[in-house]
Amino acid sequence: MSDYTTLLARVSAPAGSGREMHDPATGEVVGSAPIKTVEDLDAAIAAAKTAQPAWEALGHPQRIEILNAVADRIESESEPLAELLSREQGKPLNGPNARFEVGACVGWLRAAAATPLEAEVVVDDGETKAELHYRAVGVVGAIGPWNWPLMIGMWQIAPALRMGNAVVVKPSQFTPLSVLAMVSVMNEVLPAGVLTVVSGDRVVGARLASHPDIGKVMFTGSTATGREIIKSSAGNLARLTLELGGNDAGIVLPGTDPAAIAGDLFWGAFINTGQTCAALKRLYVHDSIYEQVIEELKAVTATMPMGNGLDENNVLGPLQNKAQFDIVAGLVEDSKKRGGRVITGGSPATELGDLFYPITLVADLHDGDPLVDEEQFGPALPIIRYTDVEDAIASANGLDVGLGASVWSSDPVEARKVALRLEAGTVWINKHGVVHPMMPFGGVKSSGYGLEFGVEGLKALGVPQVISG
Residues designated as active site: 243, 277
Per-residue burial over 336-359, b if 16 or more Cβ lie within 10 Å, else e, is eeeebebbebbebbeebbebbbbb
* Contact between 416 and 318 (Cβ < 8 Å): no
**Pairing, β 216-220 against β 280-286:** unpaired
Helix residue spans in 125-273 (DSSP H): 149-162, 176-186, 202-210, 223-232, 258-270
Q: How far is CA 156 from CA 34, 111, 137, 143, in A?
A: 22, 13, 14, 9
Q: Which long-range contacts (CB under 8 A, 24 or more apart) does 421-424 make?
A: 421/393, 421/397, 422/249, 422/251, 422/393, 422/396, 422/397, 423/396, 423/397, 424/248
**What's the CA gap between 17 and 160, in Å, rounded?**
32
Q: How far apart are CA 403 and CA 445, in angstroms?
A: 8
User: Could you tell me if 139 and 208 are in contact, meaning their C-beta atoms sit under 8 angstroms apart?
Assistant: no
- Amino acid of residue 56: E
Confirm if 147 and 277 have CB atoms less than 8 A apart. yes
| CA 280 – CA 298 distance, rounded (Å) | 16
SS (H, E, C) 3-30: CHHHHHHHHCCCCCCCEEEECCCCCCEE
**CA dist., res. 229 & res. 225, Å (int):** 6
d(CA 91, CA 81): 13
Nearest to 346 by CA among 276, 275, 90, 337: 337
285/316 Cα distance (integer angstroms): 25
Rounded CA separation 77/70 (Å)? 11
**Contact yes or no for 146/28 (Cβ under 8 A):** no
Three-state secondary-structure class, residue 419: helix
Closest CA to 93 of 273, 309, 316: 309
Q: What's the N-to-C CA distance of the chain in angstroms?
A: 53
